[in-house]
Structure 1
Amino acid sequence: MLHMHKNMVAAFIALLSLFALPSAAHARLQCVTYARQVSDVQLSGNARDWWSHAEGRYDRGHAPKVGAVLAFAGTRAMPYGHVAVVHKVVDDRHILINHANWSRPGMVERGVLAVDVSAAGDWSEVRVWFAPTRSLGLRPSTAKGFIYPRTVTASAAATASAG
């Protein structure tokens, strides 16, 4: 019985240690850092530069795929750009994304709606769920497209060759 009690105490202490993270872990999480942590796209620099940095390293395109990174352009309202990881493709114009630093500084959001509002249906204009207003953003954001990690490209190629 004492051995089981010691195991329970050790498990409880281990659980508490998860909440006692160093102060650096409480720093505001940026979208680039978050995207690198949760995706297989490993680029550096500001989000606005990811599209160009991906050239020759990753496939890029205008169709959403799970695991791809949606790269937003730098704009007056968003000078450093933004990146988000596709969590789920709902249909050609609706996806769910995981990202950080959108609705509030450092806030991580998972499974939020992003909608292609471009006239051409090419994801060049996107509206994203904005938590403070509990609605899609009031203005569309300019996007460059999707950066596909090699794992997504390889699985798509395998599916195509099998079919």
Structure 2
Amino acid sequence: MLRVALSSLVALLTLLAMPAEAQARLQCVAYARQIGEVQLSGNGRDWWVNAEGVYARGERPRPGAVLAFRGTSAMPYGHVAVVSKVVDDRHILINHANWSRPGMIERGVMAVDVSPAGDWSQVRVWYGPTGSLGLRPSPTFGFIYPASATVTAANETARTNG
């Protein structure tokens, strides 16, 4: 028993002694694939194009959908986040990684549609270091829907039109 505890302590101290850059950091893409049903490859900025013909895409948030962010000078690889809850037409809660701090996982944080057209093409996202929504809007492509959300949306459309 003592040997196991000592071995665990040594492993922990070794990890803590590593320089921060040597420790593995969870990226947004890996985290989105891990917790969500949308399984795509590439950087966050690539997911929108890579989803074409594989997953339905659109402008309306749904739980389980992935919000795909465009690449910018501040965020050259783009970003992806999984919708955990739709609060109203302009507010959602998301789960994502690597936004407020490198490798940090954030669950149930606010994202707000600030686009003039209400189409989720510009959002502000909760930023941990300031304890508020980010100051600059981030451009997005829209939402990528997992197969289960696509089937639900098709059923809703059929009921409405039928």
Shorter-chain TM-score bucket reads: 0.7 to 0.9
Instruction: Give the structure 2 partner of residue 105 of structure 1.
Output: 102
Instruction: Give the structure 2 partner of residue 38 of structure 1.
Output: 35
**2:72 matched to 1:75?**
yes
Matched letter for residue 152 of structure 1: A
**2:154 matched to 1:157?**
yes
Gaps of 5+ in 2: 16-22
Report the TM-score when normalising by structure 1.
Answer: 0.83
In 2, Cα distance between equivalents of 1:158 and 1:63 = 16
In 1, Cα distance between equivalents of 2:67 and 2:31 = 13
Matched letter for residue 126 of structure 1: V
Name the SS of the counterpart of 1:132 in structure 2: helix
Name the SS of the counterpart of 1:52 in structure 2: helix
CA RMSD of aligned residues (A): 1.9
| Offset of residue 157 of structure 1 | 2.0
**2:131 matched to 1:134?**
yes
In 2, Cα distance between equivalents of 1:116 and 1:159 = 24
The sequence identity of aligned pairs, in percent, is 70
**2:60 matched to 1:63?**
yes
In 1, Cα distance between equivalents of 2:151 and 2:65 = 12
Deviations 1:110-156 (A, max 9, x none): 00000000000000100000000000001000000000011101122
**2:45 matched to 1:48?**
yes
**2:122 matched to 1:119?**
no
Instruction: Give the structure 1 partner of residue 87 of structure 2.
Output: 90
* Structure 1 runs (4+) greater than 4 angstroms displaced: none
| Offset of residue 158 of structure 1 | 2.5
Name the SS of the counterpart of 2:85 in structure 1: strand
* Corresponding pairs, count: 143
In 1, Cα distance between equivalents of 2:114 and 2:93 = 15
Gaps of 5+ in 1: 1-12
